[in-house]
Structure 1
């Protein structure tokens, strides 16, 4: 795999996307960036004293879509009337800084869109059948029901739509989509690595 390869993972809640990202980063010997990004962004805005739960709630508060779409590349201009938008712009800046440090895996945070013009960037959307997600909700997500998992996905979709203008999970927005209910997470990680190796050999 080439140096400075960046892999972005977006995922349905309950699909095992976070665990898959951890496996993938370990196999490749690269850093995984997830919640660190929001803490680094908050520090840029001078709100680094908030706890993780407060930051997560702040991150997920979006204005109604009718308020207008402001893409990430407006960073550096007026960030908009809500802290959520400012936080998103700060996260975008942090993500661009992180990829300059070398190959990595980035989980969520619209990184697939933010880095869409980045060389050696590969984006994957991880999803799973409802039965699989429902079972993982019981065993890996503190007993969450499928309804609760879907409610979280609805928030993710709204957040993504608001900040990118695109449809979250739509296949054309990613290099590849993977159904983790059809294979193990180890196999899914190996598939991602194989895909990137094939693409880079052709480049």
Structure 2
């Protein structure tokens, strides 16, 4: 079958990254999240600080972009790339890093419109993990040691940012079941249950292709 890729979109606090890491252990492949930033930085020549400031953000200040553009680029030197707003450069660099990664190895990629970047990949499974607010608030409270109110606020803001980023750059809608092969409720299935469902789906799809 060649390289396979599992992309995981996720509501904040649903445990999507945890599911990705479980699958990584079970399948013996790497799970990429923030690591994609470092890869994109090396390939594009954009400095690390710029990537961190613009990661999964759909828009940025025009003035800030104008100032930062004067010294941010040292790798991608084509005129169209140089003329892009800074946030578009960050997206493009990650987009190319995702495609290059999928061409080299089987892996799991969390977030960053990976399903959109790999729309033409023949062995890509796109998953979205969601859960009810109570489950997510509890998860964030435990993970970050926050109050219930601060956890709920963090969830609202992060989900809004992720949806804006995905909807802005892709031709699909964040969280819409039609955008993915599987949408799983971690609040009902549990993280281990989500991991098992994904593995079972992979087996079924593999057998159907024989």
TM over 0.5: yes
Aligned residues: 188
Map of 1:154 onto structure 2 = 160
Partner of 1:40: 39
**In 1: Cα distance, 2:36 partner to 2:140 partner:** 25
- More helix, by proportion: 2
Q: What displacement does 1:77 show? A: 7.5
1:78 and 2:77 aligned: no
1:58 counterpart (50, 54, 60):
54
Instruction: Give the secondary structure class of the aligned counterpart of 2:128.
Output: strand
* Largest Rg, 1 or 2: 2
Q: TM-score, normalised by structure 2?
A: 0.83
Indicate conservation of the 8 Å contact 1:14/1:141, yes or no.
no
Q: CA deviation at 1:103?
A: 1.3
Match of residue 167 from structure 1:
173
Contact preservation (8 Å) 1:9, 1:106: yes
Kindly state the Cα deviation for residue 10 of structure 1 after the two structures are TM-superposed.
0.6
Alignment-derived partner of residue 139 in structure 1: 142
- Change in 2 beyond 3 A, CA 1:154/1:27: same
C-alpha separation in 2, matches of 1:121 and 1:110:
13
- Relative to structure 1, the CA distance from residue 100 to residue 60 in structure 2 (aligned partners, 3 Å threshold; closer, same or farther) is closer
Q: Deviations over 1:144-186 (max 9, x none)?
A: 4212211100000111111113210110000010000002211
The CA RMSD over aligned residues, in Å, is: 1.8
> 2:31–2:108: 8 Å Cα contact kept in structure 1?
yes
**SS in structure 2 of the partner of residue 165 of structure 1:** coil
Residue 92 of structure 2 is aligned with which of 85, 89, 92? 89
Unmatched 5+ stretches in structure 1: 65-75
Structure 1 SS opposite 2:7: strand
**Structure 2: gaps spanning 5 or more residues:** 61-77
Scaled by the length of structure 1, the TM-score of the pair is 0.86
Q: Give the Cα separation in 1 of the matches to 2:116 and 2:96.
A: 13
